[in-house]
Structure 1
Amino acid sequence: MAATFTLAWPLVIAQLAQTALTTTDVIMLGWLGPQALAAGTLATTFLMPFMVGAVGIVGAVAPLAAQARGARNIKAVRRIVRQGFWAAILLATLLIPILLQIRTIFGWLGQDPTNARLAEEYIHVGVWMLYPALMAVALRSLLSAFDSTRAILVITVSGVFFNAALNYVLIFGNYGFPRLELRGAALATMITSFIMFAMMLGFVLRHRRFKRFNILLRFWKPDWARFREIFRIGTPIGLTVLAEVGLFTAAALLMGLLGTDEVAAHAVALQCASMAFMVPLGLGIAATVRVGLAYGRGDVDGITKAGWTGFALGTAFMLLSCIVFLLFAPNIVTIFLSPSDPANANALALAATFLVIAGVFQLVDGAQVVAAHALRGLSDTKIPMLLAIFGYWAVGLPVAYVLGFVLEWRGVGIWIGLAAGLAFVAVVLVARFAMRERLGLLDGLPR
């Protein structure tokens, strides 16, 4: 538990800081009004499935680097990170042309034309963050695999301050800057992404522990075996995360059919739930590294302890966040929308209700993310992907649609559907980790 906590706490705070980047955007766009908040939410909700899917693929660097370290195969580390860069550049290049079609796609999906036009303004600027953001994932994975998580923390927290300052001047036109509103928020995020990547790359190139890897040495030299391995392990990870985020994207689009207030309320509740989710996500990343290290050195007992310790810590925190959401939901949502403005009254009431439901599914949300990450440490990603896709899309989305539109529970029904999908995935993934030996997941363990 001490080893897991030492590795995890900087990752937890860094994940919270990463979400704070988006939270800053949400808060400041909320100051512009529900219209800007709804449009910004639709834009980022459209971007996120592509972004996190790609992050999942590049994130395969973490378990692969951890396993290489556990096996003392240090020469493999540079090649893994270099091919992680290659994967990041390829994915960004493929995704950007798709994302630039947001207005056309939103038209097909029946979204409000004004919201679609404003969302397009955000995406056309913010989409270029994909290159630095995805390449930074490869560097974060390297640092995590070698327990250097405090560097991730410092750089990410610095990024929060950069982003907040840039938002303040670019969204509202302060200190002589042009008032760019949604485009200003996107520009701030893009610039911050480049700054954070530059800081992380500089750290890895200059720190004595990582200089020996020479990660940019013969950068253009291919290592097709490692490249394929990243996609073999990472594609199921990316699709798993994509299935979950896609479920929330679908929920946002369903909210868009109900009205602007529902979208704004959904944005507020989802942002709060995402902040809480970052803690078990950080613990899950630590579980991936700890399980991967144990797997690399052939330590069956270490795998058991690493996995269940991460699960216990994640579940304990989510119990706490569940209590906070249940008790203080009406107070929390006023951070995002001013209660003094009568135009916000309906959105505030809806957001408080959605947040109460989010509190209920905190426990299963934490359980499923830690279990998924523990399995990734064993390079077990394909079956968990299939289970997650089924749970989110064959359980969660149908329940959300039936409750929200057939039974006319509207936004409340949609959020209950989200909870149902997460609960299913939590049960099956925790069971899979518990049955890992019986299922043959340790058959490739070094002896």
Structure 2
Amino acid sequence: MKSFHQEFWLHNRPLMLLALPLLGAQLAQTGMGVVDTIMAGRLSPVDLAAVAVGASIFGPMMLLIFGTLMAVTPLVAHARGGQRHHEMAPLIHQASWVGALLLIPAWFAFYYSQVVFDFMKVEPDVANLASAYLRAMSWGLPALAFFQVLRCLCEGSNQARPVLLISVLGLLINIPANYILIYGKLGMPQLGAVGCGYATALSFWFMTIMLGFYVTFRAEYRPLAIFKSWSWPQWLGIKQILWVGLPIGLSIFVEASLFTTIALFIGSLGEVVVSGHQVAFNFTTLLFMVPLSLGMALTVKVGHALGQQRPATARRVAFLGVEMAFLVSLLGALVMWVASPWVVQLYSSDQDVQQLATALIQLAVFYQVSDGLQVNAAGALRGYKDTRIVMLITLFCYWVIGLGGGWWMAFGANPWGPQGVQGFWYGLIAGLSAASVFLLWRLNVTSRRTQLEAVSQ
């Protein structure tokens, strides 16, 4: 036991040191959504519902872009571990072209979101405001995509602190910009939820410019000459990024679109249900940032070990990291259970919204651990560049078990009767639990095979 304890902290201490600034950056960026939700909710339930419904389109599309570009992180980590620094600049250039390509479906989804809202029978006032919110947000899309490319370069190089600092500064820009544009201060018109979109787009551009300056003038990145010249799109480079990254993006998109589809399905149940669901989802997402950051750090650490041709170390790092995620998720579930009645009061003063949100958050306690395990298993597998089977697993668990089972519990002829919005959260418990089992099995298979292949060579 003493030997295990020493090895546990030997590998997990550097993992935590990398994960903490990643966590800070994730919290700061997620904090923009939290700030939007709180400040719009203080204006009116309609504005809160519009932000919630708009976020149900914005979130999955951005995560598709973010997830695909996350291929940069393990590719940079492998190149760093193998001392192949000449690969960095071409990788960043081709990743930027991939990001530009992915903006096309995102813009299309934003500008034609009204069609989706009408199909899902979202209340007209909420649907119109949500569409305007997305169009305002679209001005920040190019900045957001390029920020993700630079962020993955820094994180794959074990340099997460500048991303943290810039993300916090972006949040600090977002808060006063929201205040001015939502409530119509300093001579500006009162834009409500639409003001959230413009304020967030402004913050995205600020963050991207700041991180661009950091990569340009930081001594560590200067030899890479990222911006000295720029290469045109090259199929081999784009293919490598899409081969690793597109399954990651689709996996994350599938998970996020699960919540999106739930939000759209319940759009016809009224403002209180939509708002309560959004408050619960927003708070649980905030706590989910802790295991998510550990998973992102695992991608880097596993990638470094594999780049250095140490598969046994990579396997050990992966499973010790998963064990750390288990402990962290248990703590998060406890916080969620105890704090939910007080936290929901920050989001809305409406008693019905508070009551529903509290009930949903306490349901989320039951999938907190499995969610932490599955995201860290997936993070370790990204370090192995094993992403396509992960995509298939998540597609089955999230959409067939999670969404299908959730719809059956919410509206179907099940033995307990229609459960409404709570039924979808029962589906989440089942889907995420199944994902954790299958992804841990896949991590064991992949890491063992990689280790055996190295021994046989």
Q: Does 1:248 align with 2:259?
A: yes
Q: Does 1:116 align with 2:127?
A: yes
2:409–2:424 CA contact under 8 A, matched in 1 = yes
Partner of 2:406: 400
CA distance in 2, matches of 1:416, 1:331: 23
> Which residue of 412, 415, 429 maps to 1:419?
429
Secondary structure (helix, strand or coil) at the match of 1:166 reads helix
Identity among equivalent pairs (%): 33
Supply the AA of the counterpart residue of 2:327.
A
Partner of 1:431: 441
Q: Residue deviations 1:58-112, cap 9 Å, x none?
A: 1110001111111111101111111111111111134212320011221122221
Map residues 20-419 of structure 1 onto 2, 5 A cutoff. 20-338=31-349, 344-406=350-412, 407-419=417-429
CA distance in 1, matches of 2:451, 2:348: 48
Are residues 75 and 336 of structure 1, via their aligned partners in 2, closer, same or farther at CA, if it must alter by over 3 Å?
A: same
Q: Residue deviations 1:308-345, cap 9 Å, x none?
A: 2321222212111111221232111111012xxxxx12
Q: Residue deviations 1:199-218, cap 9 Å, x none?
A: 00100000000111111233
1:4–1:309 CA contact under 8 A, matched in 2 = no
Supply the AA of the counterpart residue of 1:362.
Q
TM-score (norm. length: structure 1): 0.96
Equivalenced residue count is 442
Secondary structure (helix, strand or coil) at the match of 2:226 reads coil
1:329–1:352 CA contact under 8 A, matched in 2 = yes
1:12–1:278 CA contact under 8 A, matched in 2 = yes
CA distance in 2, matches of 1:70, 1:148: 14
Unaligned runs of 5+ residues in structure 2 are: 1-11
Supply the AA of the counterpart residue of 1:348.
Q
Supply the AA of the counterpart residue of 2:370.
V
Shift of 1:178: 2.0
1:266–1:351 CA contact under 8 A, matched in 2 = yes
Larger deviation: 377-386 or 394-403? 394-403
Shift of 1:150: 0.6
TM-score (norm. length: structure 2): 0.94
Q: Residue deviations 1:143-188, cap 9 Å, x none?
A: 0111111101100011111001100111101222221111111000
CA distance in 2, matches of 1:58, 1:329: 34
Partner of 2:8: none
2:110–2:131 CA contact under 8 A, matched in 1 = no
Partner of 1:341: none
1:236–1:385 CA contact under 8 A, matched in 2 = yes
1:378–1:442 CA contact under 8 A, matched in 2 = no
Secondary structure (helix, strand or coil) at the match of 1:8 reads helix
Supply the AA of the counterpart residue of 1:174.
K
Are residues 51 and 432 of structure 1, via their aligned partners in 2, closer, same or farther at CA, if it must alter by over 3 Å?
A: same
CA distance in 1, matches of 2:276, 2:187: 33
CA distance in 2, matches of 1:268, 1:437: 38
1:286–1:310 CA contact under 8 A, matched in 2 = no
CA distance in 2, matches of 1:329, 1:445: 50
Are residues 226 and 320 of structure 1, via their aligned partners in 2, closer, same or farther at CA, if it must alter by over 3 Å?
A: same
Shift of 1:384: 0.7
Shift of 1:440: 5.5
CA distance in 2, matches of 1:53, 1:444: 33
CA distance in 1, matches of 2:212, 2:113: 31
1:399–1:414 CA contact under 8 A, matched in 2 = yes
Shift of 1:437: 4.3
Supply the AA of the counterpart residue of 2:432.
L
Q: Residue deviations 1:195-249, cap 9 Å, x none?
A: 0000001000000001111112331333332211000101100110011001111
Partner of 2:5: none
Partner of 2:6: none
Supply the AA of the counterpart residue of 2:438.
V
1:248–1:418 CA contact under 8 A, matched in 2 = no
Are residues 2 and 105 of structure 1, via their aligned partners in 2, closer, same or farther at CA, if it must alter by over 3 Å?
A: same
Secondary structure (helix, strand or coil) at the match of 1:208 reads coil
Supply the AA of the counterpart residue of 1:73.
R
> Which residue of 10, 31, 48 maps to 2:21?
10
2:258–2:399 CA contact under 8 A, matched in 1 = yes
Supply the AA of the counterpart residue of 1:161.
L
Are residues 162 and 323 of structure 1, via their aligned partners in 2, closer, same or farther at CA, if it must alter by over 3 Å?
A: same
CA distance in 1, matches of 2:456, 2:419: 53
2:407–2:423 CA contact under 8 A, matched in 1 = yes
2:393–2:438 CA contact under 8 A, matched in 1 = yes
2:262–2:424 CA contact under 8 A, matched in 1 = yes
Q: Residue deviations 1:230-274, cap 9 Å, x none?
A: 001011001100110011111111221322111100110001110
Supply the AA of the counterpart residue of 1:386.
L
Shift of 1:52: 0.4
CA distance in 1, matches of 2:37, 2:194: 13
1:79–1:223 CA contact under 8 A, matched in 2 = no
2:120–2:268 CA contact under 8 A, matched in 1 = no
Are residues 136 and 184 of structure 1, via their aligned partners in 2, closer, same or farther at CA, if it must alter by over 3 Å?
A: same
Supply the AA of the counterpart residue of 1:401.
W
Q: Residue deviations 1:99-137, cap 9 Å, x none?
A: 200112211222211111111110111022221111111
1:15–1:282 CA contact under 8 A, matched in 2 = yes
Larger deviation: 203-212 or 325-334? 325-334
